[in-house]
A = this chain, B = another copy of it.
Amino acid sequence: MEKFVWYNPVRILFGRGECENAGRMVRQYANRILLHYGGGSIRASGIYKRITEALRKAGVDYIELGGVRPNPRLSLVREGIELCRREQIDFILAVGGGSVIDSAKAIATGVPYPGDVWDFYEGRALPEEALKIGVVLTIPAAGSESSDGTVLTNEEGMLKRSFCSPLCYPKFSILDPELCRSLPIHQIAAGGVDILAHIMERYFSPTAGNALSDHLCEGAMCTLIEQIPRVMADKNDLDAWEQVMWTGNVAHNGLLGKGNAEDWASHEIEHELSALYDIAHGAGLAVIFPAWMKYVWREHPDKFVCFARRVLGVMTDDQERAVEQAIEKLEEFFGGLGLAVRLSEINIDDRYFREMAEKACKGGRIGAFWELEPDDVEKIFYLAL
């Protein structure tokens, strides 16, 4: 096992109806806040009404900044920073999925910083202080509600970059499965893949001798493969939503990969794709991850045989066939969720493969399972074509 530090101070409030506690929770930190959210969906679904009523009931005043879009943008973050400074806000409540939460983290770290918030994403500076954040999660996917990371897209150059800081941990995150019922099918599917990918990035590690991580990751993947189709089949199935929402959180709270050198190459590769083509992150991962698997599995075939057997129930003794069947089954699973598993299916051709490969590697190598150079990443893009 590798040395590690495990620290995650986010308070999770989980359960049906828990969103009613949003006001009470916020009130512990502030009585005037920024309410940050996305498009119109939380209004249409009634979530906006439930949360603002909970805030009013707790005596919390709020100003609003909506309009966060998938693959959240630097321009709105800059607007939020100005707004918080002007209004002397020191607490942000993010109501949404990963994009809204990541946007809130960017604003929260940007407000007290005298420079440009993009510095953090380019690694030119580290935040030293930040506004406090709370979360009401509406999309189980990104895991940002329990992570110290934030991903943002800079429209100038379509750069998608991330950074991590303990200051990005929300003070609390409310996971109320009732809020998931109004999600569009495509978003459920993409979210499911995102969650699965968070586990796979931790699982496919070159580190040997970490049976606990192996078993925990396999268990979480099995849960997801069982439960995602249930919520796709019936969006009102709260029993299944509970399990998806909790798995989405555990997948990215940091625990499952502890002791492993984690990979994360597929995420880096996908970030270039969704920055350039503005597709959902999970939809991009459904294309990239199987291609990555095909390219790298021979480096540590045992891990893939375990994955095939324990997660996907592939029982053949032939190593190569087991891995092939596992990847096929995974692609079938993604396809069954209505997602493309080839770039050509979503009208992406090879014209930017080289450029994206080089941007993904940022002048070095990415990944741990197999350390990839731009040439490797380009080949993975072709396998995904």
Interface residues, chain A, with chain B CB atoms under 8 Å away: 1-16, 18, 209-212, 214-216, 218-220, 222-223, 226-227, 239, 242-243, 246-247, 250, 255, 258-259
Contact = CB atoms under 8 A, between A and B. Distances in A.
Contacts of A211: 222-223, 226-227, 243
Nearest to A3: B15
15 contacts: A1-B239, A2-B15, A4-B12, A5-B12, A5-B14, A6-B12, A7-B9, A7-B11, A9-B9, A210-B242, A211-B223, A211-B226, A211-B227, A216-B219, A250-B255
Nearest to A5: B13
Contacts of A8: 8-9
A382 to B, nearest CB: 36
A125 to B, nearest CB: 23
Contacts of A220: 212, 215-216
A223 B209 CA distance: 11
Nearest to A226: B211
A202 to B, nearest CB: 14
B1 A210 contact: no
Instruction: Among A215, A218, A220, find the residue whose CB has the most chain B CB atoms closer than 10 A.
Output: A215
A259 B14 contact: yes
Given A220-B216, A222-B215, A243-B209, A14 B18 contact: no
Nearest to A172: B7
Contact of A219 (B13, B18, B212, B239): B212
